[in-house]
Structure 1
Amino acid sequence: MININEVYETNKMIEQENLDVRTITLGISLLDCADNNLDELNRKIYDKITTVAKNLVATGKSIEREYGIPIVNKRISVTPIALIGASSCKCPEDYVKIAETLDRAAQTVGVNFIGGYSALVSKGMTESDENLIRSIPQALAITERVCSSVNVGSTKTGINMDAVKLLGEIILETAERTKERDSLGCAKLVVFCNAPDDNPFMAGAFHGVTEADAIINVGVSGPGVVKTALQEIRGADFETLCETIKKTAFKITRVGQLVAQEASKRMNIPFGIIDLSLAPTPAVGDSIAEIFEEMGLEYAGAPGTTAALALLNDQVKKGGVMASSYVGGLSGAFIPVSEDQGMINAVSAGALTLEKLEAMTCVCSVGLDMIAIPGDTKATTISGIIADEMAIGMVNQKTTAARLIPVIGKTVGDRAEFGGLLGYAPVMPVNQFSCDAFINRGGRIPAPIHSFKN
């Protein structure tokens, strides 16, 4: 049992070290909404979301008041829409109508994001999948709260290179349609390998088909708490470093467990998982990069950064699984550039490059996240970067993702402004050598030999 004394123990973390519950995400299955008639489908989707989630925001606020725990976001994830719209959507424009319905439902219940405008195409694309993917630029341009993701690879199936090629083009089109806002639409689009069914974090959240009809997932974050704990053992050996991170992660996860259990009880919806991901914000002191600096690196990106991140990720997970029996989602350390002031500083100083970030994704919990690149980057180059990131996930049996933002009208050294938790980012240089012939081959990269587990 979790009691109020454990919350009091974390009071200093909340008040002084930026500890928060980053999100309560309510997963909702829309499988029972499927219909041959598009208007009827949209009605069912709107009615179900607004019924199941009607008390989500109020519940989050009541828990905040009662326990003094900041809950930054209340969000919804839904069944991948490419599955739900397969019978009624005959063209990309039909899917855009569903995106508008999702946006309207999210606005009605008061959540800041709704995820699940998604397709799962790791081995191949149905006509419905392709129609949804082709609808993404328009859908993200005309909605405020809708987030999109496409899973293009897995360790069991390999990488769908046809989908990777298409998404390079889709990302550029999304950037162009939202160029007046520094191509903000791309910040709401994630390309995955090995996407989990229970991730509460946007923009990649969707409600997997293996999940219950509705589920509560909670994402907790606390890089500032970890940094402060490490300041107290500055210069200590690696054993002490690891123990400190692990114990801190335990305490953070217990806060999330409390919130998840309370939300589950008050809404009468089962608790799913705690995602213990050290997700930074632009706030000073709430940075993964500053943890690296406290470990002894001049900047994120310096030699030793990948080792430091591997250590951090592992100890966070070890502490988390001792605190909760249901740790899931992505759980680890996020390394987005735009959302982390320390990462921004490292890029600006020349310490952190795209290639070093790619190396770090071998050991972090996601991948190339919120990376601003020049707006004139070719679609095939974007596809090549995605393919590299998907290969890391496929071979290493882990989730990887790419959230790339080609900022139309801006080039290396310019600054892209996204606002809010998304922050801002310096536009990073991209390797200019061509991968056109490789990307244009078409087909599928097969699964690695160690995928055979039967």
Structure 2
Amino acid sequence: MINMFEVNETNKMIEQENLDVRTITLGISLLDCIDSDLDKVNQNIYNKITTLAKDLVKTGKTIENRYSIPIVNKRISVTPIAMIGAAACKKPEDYVTIAQTLDRVAAEVGVNFIGGYSALVSKGMTTADELLIRSIPQALACTERVCSSVNLGSTKTGINMDAVRLMGEIVKETAEYTKDADSLGCAKLVVFCNAPDDNPFMAGAFHGVTEADAIINVGVSGPGVVKTALEKVRGESFEVLCETIKKTAFKITRVGQLVAKEASKMLGIPFGIIDLSLAPTPAVGDSVAEILEEIGLEYAGAPGTTAALAMLNDQVKKGGIMASSYVGGLSGAFIPVSEDQGMIDAVKANALTLEKLEAMTCVCSVGLDMIAIPGDTPATTISGIIADEMAIGMVNQKTTAVRLIPVIGKGVGEMVEFGGLLGYAPIMPVNQYSCANFVNRQGRIPAPIHSFKN
């Protein structure tokens, strides 16, 4: 039973501590849209999404008004488009027409992003997969709302290094295609190891083939709420610290569960999962880095950062998992540089480096996220960074990701402005030594020995 104290407490978290539901994401299967005729594929996609998603934004606004809970984003994820276009698409430009259809339908139903312009190539690439991947730069340059992701590895299959090499080139090409907008296309492109089928967050959301025809997934947030709670226990023991994070995560997740169940009921679409991730924004006070500072670090990146982040991530999961019927997605703490004011400040103070961020990804829920790097960074270096992050995910049996933005025409120390939730970022230095001979080897890195569990 929810009492008046809890209602007032939740209202305070919303009004003063930046609590929000970051996204309601409607996952839609497009498997029944497959056809050998490209025009028919595009029409089928348009018809299905407009039918299922026509009330999504209106439903979100109704829930916001009813419960006074901000729902920042209403989004859609779809079945990886490499599969949907395989029978009809004969060249990369054919896939671009599907991206344009997705963009048009997203605008019509009013969502801010649509994810699933994706390919799953952890063990090998089909012809269709490669065509879609090669179409990504053009697709992201000519659309506004489309997000793209490619899964390059998994604990069970190893790392597809041919795809890793190709994605380094694609990231660089995407940067060039959108250089007039500070290479913004790269902010809508992420590569994964162990990508989950039910992630509601962009740019990596897609609707996995194991999912139902349509589902509702919700991503909660609340770094500001956790930070405020920790301010009240300064100097206390780790036991008190952990208990505080757990209790706070429970309260945040209950808000997400309420929104998810209401949206499911109103839309007549099954509830999928709650993603427990602490997702920061550029707003002051809504930062994962500031939580780490409240725990006792001068800046994110100081010695002890990885341990503090590991503890935070674990306690968020322990607190949130009891608050929801189904937990999934990524679930933990995001550490995007451009979207987190505390991370930006740490980079400016030279406390946080790319190498330290990589170490932090070993214990948090995603990876190297929204990091601006010099525009002249070689494609092979980008591939090497991707390979390192894929290896962390593969060996540790966790999801890892890379969203790098080589900003064409800018160098270390310059600033780049993306706007909105994407924020702004200083260009970070990248190791100058070459990994080209490593990246240019062909084939796969095998799965680790502990992957054999059958």
Where do residues 12-411 of structure 1 align in structure 2 (5 Å cutoff)? 12-411=12-411
CA contact (8 A) 1:116 1:205 kept: yes
Shift of residue 322 of structure 1?
1.0
**Stretches of structure 2 lacking an aligned partner (at least 5 in a row):** none
Shift of residue 4 of structure 1?
8.6
Deviations 1:49-94 (A, max 9, x none): 0110000000000000000000000000000000000000011000
Give the Cα separation in 2 of the matches to 1:268 and 1:453: 38
Give the Cα separation in 2 of the matches to 1:161 and 1:91: 23
Deviations 1:194-219 (A, max 9, x none): 00000000000000000000000000
SS at match of 2:195: coil
Give the Cα separation in 2 of the matches to 1:54 and 1:453: 44
Shift of residue 442 of structure 1?
1.2
SS at match of 2:148: strand
Give the direction of change, closer, same or farther, for the CA distance of 1:18–1:100 in structure 2 (3 Å limit).
same
Give the Cα separation in 1 of the matches to 2:172 and 2:341: 26
Letter in 1 for 2:423: G
State the partner residue of 1:412: 412
Letter in 2 for 1:160: N
Shift of residue 336 of structure 1?
0.2
CA contact (8 A) 1:289 1:340 kept: yes
SS at match of 1:412: coil
Give the direction of change, closer, same or farther, for the CA distance of 1:5–1:53 in structure 2 (3 Å limit).
farther
Give the direction of change, closer, same or farther, for the CA distance of 1:3–1:330 in structure 2 (3 Å limit).
farther
Letter in 1 for 2:358: E
CA contact (8 A) 1:7 1:67 kept: no
Deviations 1:317-337 (A, max 9, x none): 000111112111000000000
Give the direction of change, closer, same or farther, for the CA distance of 1:114–1:7 in structure 2 (3 Å limit).
farther
SS at match of 2:18: coil
SS at match of 1:72: strand
Give the Cα separation in 2 of the matches to 1:78 and 1:108: 16
Deviations 1:328-369 (A, max 9, x none): 100000000000000000000000000000000000000000
CA contact (8 A) 1:24 1:74 kept: yes
CA contact (8 A) 1:28 1:76 kept: yes
CA contact (8 A) 1:2 1:258 kept: no
State the partner residue of 1:446: 446
Give the Cα separation in 2 of the matches to 1:446 and 1:220: 35
**Stretches of structure 1 lacking an aligned partner (at least 5 in a row):** none
Give the direction of change, closer, same or farther, for the CA distance of 1:77–1:440 in structure 2 (3 Å limit).
same
Deviations 1:373-429 (A, max 9, x none): 000000000000000000000000000000000000000000111000000000000
Letter in 2 for 1:318: K
Give the Cα separation in 1 of the matches to 2:186 and 2:27: 23
TM-score for the superposition, normalised by structure 2: 0.99
Give the Cα separation in 2 of the matches to 1:113 and 1:18: 22
Letter in 2 for 1:280: P
SS at match of 2:277: strand
Letter in 1 for 2:377: T
State the partner residue of 1:435: 435
CA RMSD across the alignment: 1.0
CA contact (8 A) 1:191 1:403 kept: yes
Give the direction of change, closer, same or farther, for the CA distance of 1:411–1:263 in structure 2 (3 Å limit).
same
Give the Cα separation in 2 of the matches to 1:224 and 1:203: 23
Give the direction of change, closer, same or farther, for the CA distance of 1:7–1:39 in structure 2 (3 Å limit).
farther
Aligned residues: 454
CA contact (8 A) 1:220 1:275 kept: yes
CA contact (8 A) 1:168 1:382 kept: yes
Give the Cα separation in 2 of the matches to 1:6 and 1:99: 44
TM-score for the superposition, normalised by structure 1: 0.99
- Bigger shift: residues 319-328 or 12-21: 319-328
Letter in 2 for 1:358: E
Shift of residue 5 of structure 1?
7.4
Give the Cα separation in 2 of the matches to 1:109 and 1:47: 12
Letter in 2 for 1:347: V
Give the Cα separation in 1 of the matches to 2:415 and 2:132: 31
Percent of residue pairs bearing the same amino acid type: 85
SS at match of 1:205: coil
CA contact (8 A) 1:2 1:254 kept: no
Letter in 1 for 2:119: A
Letter in 1 for 2:270: P
CA contact (8 A) 1:157 1:447 kept: yes
CA contact (8 A) 1:24 1:60 kept: yes
Runs of 4 or more above 6 Å deviation: 1-5
